Structure 1
């Protein structure tokens, strides 16, 4: 019987649970409502979802454990969920708590780290052990894999590149306390905020700006292709910011590949335009490509959670 893992992906609006094989095949899956208000509430939601899943679904393989991806800062070696949001910390030994509740070994990691682990086993890692995974969605984060090891940092916070400054002249203040961070310009939320900021200067824009409603990236693309000046300003600014971020990461970590994930990158439009902003000398060692992930963005963290569990069960070191 094939070994399987019960994989759990905690997101901002949903908990996705599935039984996953070592090859990344999801045998069955189910979505449940989530909360990320605080760690204790989220933990109780996770436990309730796992309990329901096990009641409703027959396990098809030889279940060896539970792998879990969560938002925030995670100490994987000790199974401790340290922080759900910056400034909102209530350290919980989540892995032990899940193990005791369900009598299965449990391992946990951050959601972007999980996506990078999935890439390292199921995606680009089959071609190179040196790559950067950059996730651009509502926010921006990245992970560096060097010599097949995911870099975690001294405080389990490596890769929070959304707070890399890409515009020294900017007066836009980030939640991190600095000005000019890439997340302010190029995340999904950042592009919306920039659209609202510049809208008074473009009264004839085709973009519709409504209180309480986000201008989506797809709306910006449509307006950009129609040569709307506001959309052009916002999106070109975002492209320049991500180009600076990408080239900075290349200079720092010397990868052979850059893999993009997240909602902004999904259909390839952003990457197709991004490459025109990159310096050829800077990217000359990216010999294995710069591409959007081939892993399903809705499933990559789930597969990452399973990948973590399989690797940890075998005693394979995953973090540098």
Structure 2
């Protein structure tokens, strides 16, 4: 593999399939993004991945012969390092499926497979906001909530490879919305994109009972249609309901970061994901909540930063799986 300067990152999501050719400096030099794998089964999805790899290579003006490795991200639990998928709610099939082995046989190129949050963690650590932070935790707050852990320059995956499922830490034992895992009070069931409609409806009832304004933001006429972009726009318009939802989300994320501080004591936490596009007070209040809860127990202040790579983190991180620990 000496002299082969490029790696390929594959971000296999529930709705989007993104492939990028990544150079030695972490730059995406050619990519291909499609949405036509939804509903397909395993081998058909692999057909789409292979097609997009060739398209991305063409866009980069290079070929498979100049690729040292391919990293594939899976939207669910996957066993490391053999790359066998365990569970996912985003794609049909893929139960105990040898994803790494199948892709390597198709491409004739060394492959690695991991979950998406681990790869985003590695990307931010090597090329983004996590540079210089070790130990480091990455927390992604988006449709769901996940994350990853860096210790001594390497991802910590745990015994079965599923470490970093921060979305399933219980932060409210009084209950609340039921999580996809079946428990109540998980961070993901209280502060992720998928539960914005239910959270807003619950908070609106509380505001109405208090005699405060509980109207939906302009352009939104149904709780089920409310999303992160509408929350952000509503906050800009001083909509009381939107501000209350974002404040509650910030409080729960702050509690989650406090728990991470107590359990892992990292040098820093990097926050990423789509909900970081909410107004600045979301990040500021989440950080303040964490620091206030820690109080004097935080002798040396843990650093909390916003992620820098945004939507590029997954593809760059997938390609970076081959650099882990270097």
User: What TM-score does the superposition give when structure 2 sets the normalisation length?
Assistant: 0.84
Which string of whole-angstrom CA distances, capped at 9 and with x for unpartnered residues, describes residues 219-273 of structure 1? 2234345543322332222111111101001100010111011001146622123
Greater CA drift, 101-110 or 85-94: 85-94
Which residue number in structure 2 is paired with residue 275 of structure 1?
Answer: 287
Unmatched 5+ stretches in structure 2 = none
Residues 172 and 79 (structure 1), Cα distance of their counterparts in 2 relative to 1, 3 Å cut: closer
Q: Is the 8 A contact 1:74 1:156 kept in 2?
A: yes
Which string of whole-angstrom CA distances, capped at 9 and with x for unpartnered residues, describes residues 131-158 of structure 1? 1100000111121212222121222211
Which residue number in structure 2 is paired with residue 180 of structure 1?
Answer: 185
Which residue number in structure 2 is paired with residue 97 of structure 1?
Answer: 102
Residues 11 and 283 (structure 1), Cα distance of their counterparts in 2 relative to 1, 3 Å cut: farther
1:221 correspondence with 2:221: no
Which string of whole-angstrom CA distances, capped at 9 and with x for unpartnered residues, describes residues 98-156 of structure 1? 11112111111111100111122223453122011000001111212122221212222
Which string of whole-angstrom CA distances, capped at 9 and with x for unpartnered residues, describes residues 47-100 of structure 1? 333345456663178321212222111223112222223997511211221111
Residues 229 and 9 (structure 1), Cα distance of their counterparts in 2 relative to 1, 3 Å cut: same
Distance 2:223 2:242 in 1: 19
Structure number with the higher helix fraction is: 2
Q: Is the 8 A contact 1:38 1:84 kept in 2?
A: no
- Please state whether the residue corresponding to 2:122 is helix, strand or coil: helix
- Give, in angstroms, the shift of residue 217 of structure 1: 2.2
Distance 1:274 1:244 in 2: 8
- Please state whether the residue corresponding to 2:172 is helix, strand or coil: coil
Which residue number in structure 1 is paired with residue 6 of structure 2?
Answer: 4
- Please state whether the residue corresponding to 1:142 is helix, strand or coil: strand
Distance 2:236 2:18 in 1: 35
Which string of whole-angstrom CA distances, capped at 9 and with x for unpartnered residues, describes residues 151-194 of structure 1? 21222211111121111223422221211111122112222321
Question: Could you tell me which of 112, 119, 124 is aligned with 1:114?
Answer: 119
How much is the aligned-residue C-alpha RMSD, in angstroms? 2.8
User: What TM-score does the superposition give when structure 1 sets the normalisation length?
Assistant: 0.86
Residues 267 and 127 (structure 1), Cα distance of their counterparts in 2 relative to 1, 3 Å cut: farther
- Please state whether the residue corresponding to 2:97 is helix, strand or coil: coil
- Give, in angstroms, the shift of residue 37 of structure 1: 4.5
Question: Could you tell me which of 242, 246, 251 is aligned with 1:240?
Answer: 251
Residues 65 and 222 (structure 1), Cα distance of their counterparts in 2 relative to 1, 3 Å cut: closer
- Give, in angstroms, the shift of residue 21 of structure 1: 1.1
- Please state whether the residue corresponding to 1:155 is helix, strand or coil: coil
Q: How does 1:99-248 map onto structure 2 within 5 Å?
A: 99-200=104-205, 202=208, 205-207=215-217, 209-211=220-222, 214-248=225-259
